[in-house]
Chains A and B, each alone.
Chain A
């Protein structure tokens, strides 16, 4: 099973005629993802990798029955693209795009939720259900089917953690990059709730970082509502306050959002926090055994 996507998920790629959209559409097809078409306004009727290109999401959904869309369009068109996906009947909207202004995201967040669609991202690598479907830009070959769920605010750090999990024999049920922006469509709590219900997920790894208080809230939620083992890693212990560390959301401001506070919150919730990415499998092993 896993969560959110599987072998039956039909994916439309918004921005498929662009460099990144086209490259990753091919990589997903190769992985076995059911990519059913793409959307680029004004380029309807063309083909990319043998896939039909549509002028609008609504048209693409009508013709292909797509239920998921993956967005690669530039930041200034991304708000329109993700609202169009939700309006067009897509249930799972995954937005890779980095650089959407946070005030636009406030509106987008509520807009998509009111329609009843789920948004993953923006500024994220997407998600993968190993061996079944990849909806994103991560290297598929480091993943392996298994029972560990991964939720992360990062991209390459997730690869690092997944690589270590796979190396130590822990396959993954679903790995989700939720995005490095301050305001994102789905957070830890949304996904923890799904992993808790997923019979194929045995434990969850959370990869957090400085900025905001989502990790603290996740820790509270784990304490009250999650029975499956959870292990965490927090990056940014050495980050200075007031400086944005690459991700728009990775900033310690007004004394809030420090790595220390997050580590403490997890530890108080009984979630062990690894000092290094390569310690995560070991901690998971201990948690699962206990």
Chain B
């Protein structure tokens, strides 16, 4: 789960990391009022959960209240990468002398948290890692032992001058504490800004959370923003389905994430375009199939639907029942191709046959068939 910068700033501040004064605004008037309250100049920043807002005109430094009102009004009318801007962060503009980078995340390969540090902050860190990897310093934290402050200090001393080192060490320890205590997948300050001889401040903040940890943190779940997922994705999640919308026109309903991806890939391999990723999950009830079909058929571009089931825990007869219920309840506007194999296959096929439906048993055969039908528009 992702949260907005204004939310991340508050969380960082609550963990003892200094941030410039600032507040969230949802109208131009409110933005001007906050600007007056915290004092000019201020930076007005669009709050959207995608990168590239600066390039899209979503960030503006202003020196008067009138300018603040105008900028806020303009930015609130922007749509950045399909996301309309609904909130702004109005923050005190700081005089940045030097930009650093500080981040903590999970390293999948080493199975440890990794601290990432750079004296060249303010740029895309992933790009920097590719182009100038020598500018990035890393230190790993043993999950059982916890942070080794001495080792961290040594790593940080290669990036920060003596006068800033204590602050940087403290900030990094706080970032790690936040990562662990709130089950984050990423905590990042970029730029971590030096604003005078001896002060560092978090001029921007990004925090992502591990979805699997959210059940432990109601206060984090409360920060969820609807925009991260489409209406369909949220509805699917509530029904216990895993769903991602894509650009194509062949809908897929599959059991298991790996098989669902392989099904999409096969559609593409034979010249089609998948409309979605959809995993009905392990113990799929007829109800889940019904919900899946309802969500898919809302897509106006849809030309055909492929149901690909390899029964393990999932029972083919449950899937067949779901298909039959859906046929009674909703008008399927496009051709449907079914592939059933595995647990209770015989029972599932029998149910379908009684209703005049047939099912393929090979995946490749089913994919070829769905593409023919989509093309014919039958």
Q: Which of A169-205 contact B (CB under 8 A)?
A: 180, 182-183
Contacts of B356 in A (CB 8 A): none
Give the docked Cα–Cα distance between A2 and B230 (Å). 46
Does B97 reach chain A (CB closer than 8 Å)? Answer: no
Using an 8 Å CB-CB cutoff, how does the interface string of B264-300 with A read, 1 for contact, 0 for none? 1111110000100101001100000000000000000
Q: A75-B212, A110-B142, A163-B341 are in contact. Are A213 and B312 (CB under 8 A)?
A: no
Of the residues B179, B210, B261, contact of A235 by C-beta under 8 Å: B261
Q: A102-B185, A209-B258 are in contact. Are A139 and B312 (CB under 8 A)?
A: yes
Contacts of B106 in A (CB 8 A): 102-103, 106, 182-183
Pair B108/A238 contact, Cβ less than 8 Å: no
CB distance from A77 to the nearest CB of B (A): 12
Pair A101/B258 contact, Cβ less than 8 Å: no
Contacts of A138 in B (CB 8 A): 312
Give the docked Cα–Cα distance between A156 and B339 (Å). 14
Does A217 reach chain B (CB closer than 8 Å)? Answer: yes
Does B170 reach chain A (CB closer than 8 Å)? Answer: no
Smallest Cβ-Cβ distance to A251: which chain B residue: B185
Of the residues B213, B242, B254, contact of A103 by C-beta under 8 Å: B213
CB distance from A187 to the nearest CB of B (A): 9
Q: Which of B14-22, B88-96, B109-117, B320-328 contacts A (4 or more CB under 8 A)?
A: B109-117
Q: A103-B180, A156-B259 are in contact. Are A240 and B246 (CB under 8 A)?
A: yes
Of the residues A20, A105, A106, A238, contact of B265 by C-beta under 8 Å: A238
Pair B256/A109 contact, Cβ less than 8 Å: no
Q: How many of chain B's residues touch chain A, expressed as a range?
A: 35 or more
Q: A245-B260, A278-B363 are in contact. Are A254 and B126 (CB under 8 A)?
A: yes
Does A283 reach chain B (CB closer than 8 Å)? Answer: no
Give the docked Cα–Cα distance between A217 and B362 (Å). 32
Of the residues B113, B255, B364, contact of A276 by C-beta under 8 Å: B364
Q: Which of A8-16, A53-61, A147-155 contacts B (4 or more CB under 8 A)?
A: A147-155
CB distance from A219 to the nearest CB of B (A): 14
Does A31 reach chain B (CB closer than 8 Å)? Answer: no
Does A221 reach chain B (CB closer than 8 Å)? Answer: no
Contacts of B265 in A (CB 8 A): 235-238, 259
Interface of B, helix, strand, loop or mixed by DSSP: mixed
Does B143 reach chain A (CB closer than 8 Å)? Answer: yes
Q: Which of A228-286 contact B (CB under 8 A)?
A: 233, 235-240, 243-250, 254-255, 259, 275-278
Give the docked Cα–Cα distance between A237 and B210 (Å). 24
Give the docked Cα–Cα distance between A259 and B111 (Å). 22
Smallest Cβ-Cβ distance to B342: which chain A residue: A139
Smallest Cβ-Cβ distance to A246: which chain B residue: B257
Pair A156/B312 contact, Cβ less than 8 Å: yes
Pair A163/B262 contact, Cβ less than 8 Å: no
Give the docked Cα–Cα distance between A75 and B215 (Å). 10
Pair B364/A236 contact, Cβ less than 8 Å: no
Contacts of A99 in B (CB 8 A): 212
Contacts of A183 in B (CB 8 A): 106, 108, 111
Q: A102-B185, A248-B211 are in contact. Are A212 and B259 (CB under 8 A)?
A: no
Does A129 reach chain B (CB closer than 8 Å)? Answer: no
Taking each of B180, B282, B283, B311, which has the highest tally of chain A beta carbons within 10 Å of its own beta carbon?
B282
Give the docked Cα–Cα distance between A235 and B279 (Å). 14
Contacts of A207 in B (CB 8 A): 258
Smallest Cβ-Cβ distance to B255: which chain A residue: A156
Pair B277/A154 contact, Cβ less than 8 Å: no
Smallest Cβ-Cβ distance to B257: which chain A residue: A246
Contacts of B313 in A (CB 8 A): 20, 137
Give the docked Cα–Cα distance between A160 and B265 (Å). 14
Residue pairs across A and B with Cβ atoms less than 8 A apart, 23 shown, are A102-B183, A102-B213, A103-B106, A103-B143, A103-B183, A107-B143, A155-B282, A156-B255, A156-B259, A156-B314, A159-B342, A160-B310, A207-B258, A210-B261, A212-B108, A214-B109, A217-B109, A246-B256, A246-B258, A246-B279, A254-B126, A259-B265, A278-B362
Residues of A within 8 A of B (CB): 20, 75-76, 99-107, 109-111, 114, 125, 137-139, 142, 152-160, 163, 180, 182-183, 207, 209-210, 212-214, 217, 233, 235-240, 243-250, 254-255, 259, 275-278
Residues of B within 8 A of A (CB): 106, 108-109, 111-113, 126, 129-130, 142-144, 179-180, 183, 185, 210-213, 215-216, 242, 244, 246, 254-262, 264-269, 274, 277, 279, 282-283, 310-314, 341-343, 362-364
Question: Closest 4 A-B residue pairs measured CB to CB?
Answer: A154-B258, A246-B257, A156-B256, A157-B258
